[in-house]
Amino acid sequence: QVKLVESGGGSVQAGGSLRLSCVASGYTSGNYCMGWFRQAPGKEREGVAALDRDDSVSLADSVKGRFTIFQDKAKDTVYLQMNSLKPEDTAMYYCAAEFGTYCSGAFPDEADFGSWGQGTQVTVSS
């Protein structure tokens, strides 16, 4: 059974940085697509960043130039480095994964992911 565990959330002031981590376990080796999504109160969940085993990366327009996604395969961990944070980045951030495939399209839809973490809260104050 696949398990995703996020960490690294917290409270920062605008302009600050945070690095989220997502550790995956219980999966079989092969292709995969890993993603970060976020959901603010009263809003729909939206995709933030995604990458696959070959390090093909997708970023939402709202975070380009500020966020990066990268992985450490030896640690089964995907990271979301968030710089120049804005109050509008405040949300619960979720790690998601789908195994046996690469990321699809310009940005994978949340329906493409079968495994989800429990989320980690990011709060950015002005």
CA-wise closest residue to 69 among 87, 95, 98, 49? 49
Q: What's the pLDDT at 27?
A: 82
Q: What's the pLDDT at 84?
A: 98
What is the rounded distance in angstroms from the CA atom of residue 21 to the CA atom of residue 122? 13
pLDDT tens for 13-29 read 999 999 999 999 988 77
Residues facing 67 on adjacent strands: 82
Q: What's the pLDDT at 52?
A: 94
Q: What's the pLDDT at 105?
A: 76
Q: Is the pLDDT of residue 104 over 90?
A: no
Token digits of residue 64: 């380009």
Q: What's the pLDDT at 106?
A: 78
pLDDT tens for 61-74 read 999 999 999 999 99
Tell whether the torsion through CA atoms of 92, 2, 62 and 74 is positive or negative.
Answer: positive
pLDDT tens for 38-56 read 999 999 999 999 999 999 9
